[in-house]
Every structure is written in C-alpha cells, then in structure tokens.
Chains A and B, each alone.
Chain A
Amino acid sequence: MMQWLKDLMSPDLLPPLPGEGWGGGRGAGTGSHEVMKAAVPPPQPSPGRGGRNASVRAEPDETLAKQLALVIDLNVCVGCHACVTSCKQWNTSGSAGPLADAQPYGANPTGTFFNRVQTYEAGTFPATQTVHFPKSCLHCEDPPCVPVCPTGASYKRKEDGIVLVDYDKCIGCKYCAWACPYGARELDEERQVMTKCTLCVDRIYDEHLPKEDRKPACVKACPTGARLFGDVKDPDSEVSKAIRERGGYQLMPEWETSPANQYLPRHVTQQTAGQE
C-alpha cells in the first residue's frame, strides 16, 4: 500500500522504464547513469512486452539448452550469512524498490530475503557435525510454482532457465508459494507481491560490470567460495564438473521438480561423525 507513496516522495528513484517491474539493478560500483545510457539495456524480466531483450517464457515440459544455477558446497560453508546480506543489499537496491525490512532493530525483526542460511546438527553427540545450509530458490527445471500462477507473473525464462516473478503482474495470491515444496518464495509483505531469488538477473548480464563481477551477489560475497555459479547444461562448466565429480545432489527428489541448484555433500576427512 505504501509503495506508491514512496515512489511519489522519491521520483528520482523510479526505474528508467516506467511500468517495468525492475530493470537494471544499481549496485555498488556501477555508475547508474551509465547503465541508463547503455546501448544494450540489461535483460528485461517481463515476458510478453516488446523490445529487443524481452524474455521468452519457457513452455511447460520444454527442455532448455541452458540452465543457470548455483552449486553449493556444504564442505566449506561456514554459516557467516555474507550471502544473505549481500543478496539483500543488491536486491533491495534494485528499481523494484526496497525489500520489506520491518523492525530491523526491534525484538521481532522480519522482512523479505531471497536467501537464508540454516544450521543443522547431524549425528549423535559427541560424534556430531554442524552443517550450514544456504537455501534459496532452486530454479527447478520443472517448477511447480509456475503453472499454478493464475496471472502468468511467475515464469521460467527460455534463454537461461531462471524462474522469475514479474512484480507488475503479481496479484499477491500466494498460491505459487503454496506450490513450492521448498518454501523458496517469500511474499513481500509491504509491496504485497511474491518475491524470490532472481539469480541476480539484473547483474549477471550487465556488460558495464567487469567480467568477473557478472555473478550473483551471493556468489561474489562468499568468503570461502562455497557457492559456484554457471550453466548446469554445459558439461564442461565448473558447476557441471563439480556436480559430476563430487556427488552433487538435488533437494527433495521425491517430488520430481528437478531443481537446477544442487548441493555438494559434506565429506568427512577426519573421523568425527557418524555419517559416511
């Protein structure tokens, strides 16, 4: 409800393309004016809108040639939450407006995050292991959240398999969140639209960034290199090799959603725990 008020009060924060859900993100190090003058604008996440860079919606059951994804190495994640904060920083600074962040210094802070780091204890004391477990949208190859959306706001991009929400078309019915077994989608309770990890789609194609920075914010922020990013359909990519060589696995395989993101299992090098 308050979004229109915020827009009115800060007209200079409006996106360069009026009516677009979000265009190019304005993160640290990118001259925002340069971005606006860019000859090649960043890819628009809205399908069905004209323009050279409009995304194409993947049909159900369509096999895509390219599928961008994250591979998360549970061996080296130390649970520092740097990916969580850098994700929030990047995505709250985009032209869609800030992500909800209610009472950040109060007793019950709450808000929208696209990424969470959880902690699990495996095994029986004293042979226990602490496993830090980053969790975000898995960009399923057969995403159950997409066909249930009544408006078409939820879609999977044909060109790179990223699952996105068009914030301009979302009616905030929450049905897609019900249809996601992973709880990866979070309703932004201020804007009343569904939000989720975008794999930093407004960053990874930005030609104004140095090539090594064209990665999701969480990947760039991880101090231990626990997050790999790339095309899982390309057998020679870093992520495909990691999945192949180190036993990458998918979450909740029982629902046949075929998550694109995969996890590398913890390998015990010292005999401390009861697993493997």
Chain B
Amino acid sequence: MHPAFSILFFTTLAGAAQGLVVALALAVLFGLGLAPGFLALALGVAEVLLAAGLAASFMHLGRKSRAWRAVLMWRTSWMSREVIVLPAFIALVALWWLSLRFGAGAPWSWLLPVLVLCGAVALWYCTAMIYACLRFIEEWAHPLTIVNFTLIGLSSGLVLACAMAVLSGETRFVQLFGPWALAATLAAWAARGGALRRNAAIRHKSTLQSATGIRAEKLVQKSMGMSAGSFNTREFFHGATLAALRNMKLGFLLLAFVLPSLLLLWGVASGAAWPWLLAVLVQAPGLLAERWFFFAQAKHPQNLYYQVVS
C-alpha cells in the first residue's frame, strides 16, 4: 500500500494523545494528587494533538465538505465507528478539562477520567479494526494490529506525559509512571517485533493463478492494460526500493523502541530530566516511520493484476 501522510500523522498524533490522556486519567483515579496547572496543561496538549490528528484525517478525504456523512454507516463500517468515537473522545477530554477549570465535584471528578479511559480504548480499537478487518490484506488482518496500535499509542503517550511531568516538577508522577512508560515501550517493541516476524512468514493466499483462474504453472503478465499509471498503481504501491524498506524498518525499530527504551531506563535510574525530553524527540520520527512501514509492508492482492506497465 502507498502510505498516505494524512493517515500517518492522524494515527500517530491521536495515538500519543490517547496514551497521554490514559496516563493522566490513571494518575487521577489512583489519587496521585497532580497539580491542577499540570493536569490542565497536559489535557490541553492532548487536545491540540487530537485536533491536529483530526485535521490530518480530513486531508485524506477527497470531498471534505461531505465528511459528516461518514457517521452514518456505524452498523457495518469500522471507519464510521472511528469517525463517531474520535470527536466523542475529543469532547470527553474537553469536558474533563472544563470540569477541572470550574472545579466540578464528586461524580465528575472520577466519572470523567473513567469515561475518557473508555474512550481512548474504544478509539484504539476502532482505528486498528479499520485495517484488521480487511481479511485479504493479510499483513493487517490479525489481532496484533490492534495490540500494536494500542501499545505504541500507550508508549508514546506515557513518554510524552513523563516528559511534561519532568518539566512541570511532578516528580511523583515520573517516579510512578516512568517505569510504566519503559514497560509499555518494551511491550510495544516486543509486539511490533512479533508482527514483523509474522508478516515475514506470510505466504499469501492469492496468486496470479487464483487472480486470473488461468491454470498454468508459469504465468506472467505482459500488459496491465494501460501505457502509464492509474489509481490502482498509485494507491496500492509504495514505490520504494527494497533497501529503503529495510532501512525504514531498522530506523523505526531503533527510533521508536530501542533508543527510547535506553533513554527511559536512564531517566528512571538517574532521575534526570533530559533523557525524557530526548526520548520524545527521538521517538516522534520513529512513530511516523513505524506507521509508514505498516502501510508499505501490506501487500494488496489487487497488485497481482498490476505488475507490468505496458
């Protein structure tokens, strides 16, 4: 598949915002006693990330003014469900921020964090199911897709939360959530590594023979029926060389998982601030590279029909 930057930015930005909000909600529910200023600032950052993600997702649409129609088919379409859950999640985070600002009391102070937690989980599930439900894109059609979207979002959100806590002097938060940020990053590394191993071993069900029904052992395409490209050649091929693909894989493993893990370990052990900040900076391009690779690695069966331009 051709990785679309609109989706790369949307899924990474929203994923980090979800992880950040989950960390804040858990901290509040466990009675960590965060400074109101820090909580409001962190929720504000989450909202900015979500808004940027929403804007990026709009860039993916050919007819942006009709975007509202995408809520209609929630009974059958995971994309429709995501389109409903995303604004609902943004609204819940905004409500929580407002309730803090106006000092809302008892039920809201625990109900809103719980609701926000549920919203984050639901959004991860919907976003990942958009890809995992396409049964013939075999690289995606697996529960690991959901695990990876969730764990990578958690990792990036927790790293960001700890970095902001370090800057705001919330040492208790960093002491408690620092090890969890490390654990989430290691878990995300393990799960993404598992998906990479699984995808490397896939033997695709569709072949040129099953695609055309021509039962010859040796079968080659001589013409795809056009002398230049089409939507089918632009949308479903990444166009990168094998070497670029390999480098991207190495790059995202290093930037999204290995280096952040080392930096977090350093941060947890030393209590210094800069490893956390550095981890955010290092992980951000790694997350984009990971999502780029997620799309590029997926081999769509339609590509069997589009192998020879002539």
Residues of A within 8 A of B (CB): 60, 74, 81, 84, 107-113, 116-124, 129-131, 133, 135, 144, 146-153, 169-175, 177-183, 186-187, 189, 192-193, 249-255, 263, 265-266, 273-276
Q: Do A116 and B63 touch (CB < 8 A)?
A: no
Contact A147 B221 (CB under 8 A): no
Name the contact of A135 in the complex, choosing from B130, B137, B206, B225 (C-beta under 8 A).
Answer: B225
Complex CA distance for A193 and B231, rounded to whole angstroms: 12
Q: How far is the CA of A119 from the CA of B233 in the complex (A)?
A: 17
17 contacts across the A-B interface (CB closer than 8 A): A110-B230, A111-B230, A113-B230, A116-B224, A135-B225, A144-B134, A148-B79, A150-B70, A150-B71, A153-B69, A169-B69, A173-B79, A177-B235, A182-B211, A187-B231, A192-B63, A255-B205
Expressed in whole angstroms, the minimum distance between the Cβ of A259 and any Cβ of chain B is 11
Instruction: Tell me the bound Cα distance from A108 to B309 in angstroms.
Output: 11
Quick check: B62 and A172 within 8 Å, CB to CB?
yes
Interface residues on B, range: 35 or more
Q: Which of B67, B211, B219 contacts A171 (CB 8 A)?
A: B67
Is B73 touching A116 in the complex (CB atoms < 8 A)?
no
Binds A, one of B182-190, B195-203, B297-305: B297-305
Tell me the minimal C-beta distance from B64 to chain A in angstroms: 8
| Residues in A whose Cβ lies below 8 Å from that of B215 | 265, 275-276
> Across the two chains, which residue of chain A brings its CB closest to B230?
A110
With both beta carbons as reference points, the residue of chain A lying nearest to B64 in the complex is identified as A171
Report the minimal beta-carbon distance from A234 to chain B, rounded to whole angstroms.
23
Given contacts A148-B77, A149-B77, A251-B210, list 5 more A-B pairs with CB under 8 A.
A121-B219, A151-B72, A182-B301, A251-B211, A263-B213
Q: A122 contacts which of B61, B72, B130, B218 (Cβ < 8 Å)?
A: B218
Q: Is B240 positioned at the interface, with any CB of A under 8 Å from its CB?
A: no
Bound-state Cα–Cα, A150 to B76, Å? 8
A-B interface pairs (CB < 8 A), number:
186
Among A146, A148, A181, A266, which residue has the most Cβ atoms of chain B within 10 A? A181
CB neighbours (8 Å) of A254 from chain B are 205-206, 210
A192 with B214, Cβ < 8 A, contacts A119-B222, A179-B134, A181-B206 known = no
Which chain A residue has the least Cβ–Cβ distance from B77?
Answer: A150
Please measure, in the bound complex, the distance between the C-alpha atom of A55 and the C-alpha atom of B70, giving whole angstroms. Answer: 21
> Taking the complex as formed, is B83 at the interface, i.e. its CB lies under 8 A from any CB of chain A?
yes
B133 on the A face (CB < 8 A): yes
B242 interface residue, CB < 8 Å from A?
A: no
8 tightest A-B CB contacts, nearest first: A172-B62, A183-B302, A192-B62, A122-B216, A116-B225, A147-B76, A150-B80, A151-B69
Q: A152 contacts B73, CB within 8 Å? A: yes
**Contact between chains at A60 and B66 (CB < 8 Å):** no
A173 and B206 in contact (CB under 8 A), knowing A119-B223, A183-B232, A251-B211? Answer: no
Q: How far apart are the CA atoms of A30 and B305 in the complex, in Å?
A: 36
Whole-angstrom CA separation of A144 from B137 in the bound complex: 12
B8 to chain A, nearest CB (A): 15
Structural contact, A150 and B79, CB atoms closer than 8 A = yes
Q: In the complex, what residues of B have CB within 8 A of residue A171's CB?
A: 61-64, 66-67, 69-70
B302 pairs with A182, CB closer than 8 A: yes
Considering only CB atoms, which chain B residue lies closest to A103 in the complex? B228
Q: How far, in whole Å, are A218 and B62 apart by their CA atoms in the complex?
A: 29
Given contacts A171-B63, A189-B231, whether A118 and B305 have CB atoms under 8 Å apart is yes
B77 near A119 (CB under 8 angstroms)? no
Contact A173 B72 (CB under 8 A): no
Inter-chain contact A173/B211, CB cutoff 8 Å: no
- A119 proximity list for chain B (CB < 8 A): 221-223, 225
Instruction: Determine the distance from Cα of A250 to Cα of B206 in the docked complex, in whole angstroms.
Output: 13
A130 and B228 contact, CB distance less than 8 A? no
**In the complex, how many angstroms separate the beta carbon of A192 from the nearest chain B beta carbon?**
3
Considering the complex, give the chain B residue whose CB is closest to the CB of A274: B216
Cα of A118 to Cα of B225 in the assembled complex, Å: 5
Answer yes or no: B241 CB below 8 A from chain A CBs.
Answer: no
- Closest-by-CB residue of A relative to B136 is A181
Q: Report whether B63 and A170 are in contact in the complex, using a CB–CB cutoff of 8 Å.
A: yes
B212 close to chain A: CB less than 8 A: yes
Residue B35 is within 8 A (CB to CB) of chain A in the complex: no
Evaluate contact between A275 and B69: CB separation under 8 angstroms. Answer: no
Which chain A residue has the least Cβ–Cβ distance from B298?
Answer: A178
A153 surroundings in chain B (CB, below 8 A): 69
Q: Whole-angstrom distance between the alpha carbons of A187 and B133 in the complex?
A: 21
| Cβ-closest chain A residue relative to B301 | A181
Q: Is the CB of A178 within 8 A of B1?
A: yes
Q: Are B72 and A130 in contact (CB under 8 A)?
A: no
Would A182 and B230 be within 8 Å (CB), given that A150-B73, A150-B79 are in contact?
no
| B60 lies within 8 A of chain A by Cβ | yes
| Cβ A120 vs Cβ B214 within 8 A | yes
Q: Would you give the shortest CB distance from B203 to chain A, in whole angstroms?
A: 12
Q: Which residue of A is nearest B79, CB measured?
A: A150
Residue contact B225 to A117, C-beta cutoff 8 Å? yes
Q: Name the A residues within 8 Å of B133 (CB-CB).
A: 148
Which one, B62, B214, B229, B236, contacts A108 given CB within 8 A? B229
> How far apart sit A161 and B67, CA to CA, in the bound complex (Å)?
27
Q: Judging by beta carbons under 8 Å apart, are A148 and B76 in contact?
A: yes
Whole-angstrom distance between the Cβ of B94 and the nearest chain A Cβ = 24
- Specify which chain B residues have a CB less than 8 angstroms from the CB of A177 in the assembled complex: 231, 235
